[in-house]
Every structure is written in structure tokens, then in C-alpha cells.
A = this chain, B = another copy of it.
């Protein structure tokens, strides 16, 4: 094949394929992770899947971390929004079970989501609307704060909180841009953050991780003890 023929072939391939965009990159990445596993997902392999040179991906995602962020949002976006209903427990239950079904469809997603250094927009949206169910069900902001922490904790030693809380920032020193729209877009999350420290209105401030951990632990232990007293047994 002459050099000219090779150039023509490249041009033909470019003409045939639908032009790349962020959406198509993310969809292909999710599909590739679903079928081959997250370890086999590389920028080079993904580019190959899309019949594209590796560098072409960098026009739509800044780097691999941003690709994983995008994949997280794509997956979390699959979770059903909260349904209507007078009973907050039924609504939460259906929501969490929907999330579980989504994560079972994408076995790599839980680890990827937990590896994000900060919550992505879709995750924030998910947390916010879930907190909203509790609040509208009559739980106080304070209780909702601890309830959300408890839902995200894993007590058997092998646990960190859902997202590492940033270190306590110096008073009066904002950590990064204040992002004034955040409280409007995610009112319940903002409320949770506000409930976590006395009188300070900055979002994303320090949570008392130790307290949250012990809250969830004690709540579960009390529940276990109650079942024990009752002589509880599963219907098997």
C-alpha cells in the first residue's frame, strides 16, 4: 500500500464513522467496562473500540479520571427517581432497591464511584433527592444528616465514609470557590452540611466522622439485640 492509499483509507474511515462526542465516548466506556471488566478499560482499548486514535478521546474527556467521573454520572443517572407515596419508608426502600439493581447491572460501578475523590453531579443529585425523601417524611435535618451517613457506612472494619470529608479548613478560609449556586441546586445536601457544624454556614465543612460511625454502629447493634430478645428467625 502506498502512502497515498493509506491516507485515503484513513479519510474514508473518518467519513464513515459518526463523529465522536462525549456521550458516545461515555456510552462506549460503560459498555466496555460491562463486558470486559474495569481493569481492561484503558484509553487505548476504548479508542480502538471506537475505531479512533487514542488522542481523539482527549478532545471529549480531559483525562482518564474525568472519563471515570462521566461513567459514574451515566450509571447513577440510570437510578429511578423517587416515586410518589405517603410513606417515606416505602419511597426510600424502592429508591435504594432501584440503585442496587443498577449497580448489579454494572458490577464495576460501585468501586469506581467510591474511588471518585469528590461527588459527581449525578451522585450529588442522587444524595440530595434521597435526603429529600427523609426530610419530607418528617425527619429533622439533624437526624437526616446522621441517617444518610449511616446508610453509607460499612461497619465490619472494612469501611470508610462514602466520601472523605475534607480536612477542617481554617475559619474564614474558603476551601476552593464557594460555589454560591450549590445551596440552591442541592438544598437538602446544603442543609445536611449546615447541620454538621454549629452556626457555620459554609458547605462541605467538617463532619464528626467518629460520631457518625458510632451512630450507625450503635443503631445496628441495638437492632440486633432487639431481634435477639425476640428470638427472631428468618423464614427459611
Contacts and interface: CB of A to CB of B under 8 A. Distances in A.
Interface string A107-124: 100110111000000000
B221 A103 contact: no
A103 B158 contact: yes
A223 B224 contact: no
A153 B154 contact: yes
Interface stretch (A24-32, A170-178, A226-234): A226-234
A143 interface: yes
A162 interface: yes
Contact of A220 (B111, B138, B159, B220): B220
Contacts of A221: 89, 92-93
Interface in A76-96: 76, 79, 89, 92-93, 96
Interface string A200-233: 0000000000010111111111111101100011
A106 B194 CA distance: 30
A74 interface: no
Given A139-B228, A220-B150, A234-B146, A158 B89 contact: no
Q: Is the interface of A mostly helix, strand, loop or mixed?
A: helix
- The oligomer's copy count stands at 2
A155 interface: yes
Given A151-B156, A220-B223, A142 B234 contact: yes
A157 B198 CA distance: 29
A78 to B, nearest CB: 11
Contacts of A134: 224
Contacts of A217: 93, 96
25 contacts: A89-B225, A92-B221, A96-B156, A96-B157, A100-B213, A102-B157, A103-B158, A111-B115, A127-B156, A137-B228, A139-B228, A142-B234, A142-B236, A143-B228, A143-B232, A147-B224, A150-B224, A151-B154, A153-B154, A215-B234, A216-B220, A219-B220, A219-B227, A220-B220, A220-B223
